[in-house]
Amino acid sequence: MRPRANLRLPARVRSTPQRRAGLDAIASATGAFTAAEIYDRARATAPKLGLATVYRTIELLRRAGSVRPLAGEGRPAYVRCRPGHHHHLVCVACGSVEETELCAAPPAAELARRYGFAADTHEVDFYGTCRRCA
């Protein structure tokens, strides 16, 4: 559980029952989630919801920075997150995802100096066992 993230649709899009249902399902997700899970959950309130619409809603939120695809091990999944720089602690036991502002990235200046590499972004995900699954 947890104080639910304030999750909103981007400015210029319409508010439809389907989007609200998807949004609510994502807002109440506790950890990593898949599109199918959101689909199942959201259909409780919007029975005729289509899976494609769920994907479209996720994409909407991804562009807004409120959802990220999770790259690592196992099945593809997404995480709800706040915009801005942070990384994820992914529990391989229960799938919960916690955010941390601790950043594993060497400073860009160091990469530039040593490799001539201009880093735009980086992806960092930690995989391990969370407190409750320990």
Partner DNA sequence: ATAACTGCAAACGGTTTGCAAGTCT
Partner DNA sequence: AGACTTGCAAACCGTTTGCAGTTAT
Determine contact, residues 112/118, Cβ cutoff 8 Å: yes
Q: What is the 3-state secondary structure (H, E, C) of 5-16?
A: CCCCCCCCCCCC
Interface with DNA in residues 15-74 (CB under 7 A): 15-19, 34-36, 46, 48-53, 55-57, 59, 69
User: Alpha-carbon distance 123 to 86, whole Å?
Assistant: 9
**Closer residue to DNA (CB): 40 or 99:** 40
User: Alpha-carbon distance 131 to 129, whole Å?
Assistant: 7
Site map (CB under 8 A) of a second copy, residues 32-71, x = contact: ---------------------------------------x
Site map (CB under 8 A) of a second copy, residues 93-132, x = contact: -----x-x-xxxxxx--xx--xxxxxxxxxxxxxxxxxx-
Q: Is 6 helix (H, G, I), strand (E, B) or coil?
A: coil
Binding residues for DNA, rule: CB under 7 A, are: 13-19, 34-36, 46, 48-53, 55-57, 59, 69, 75-76
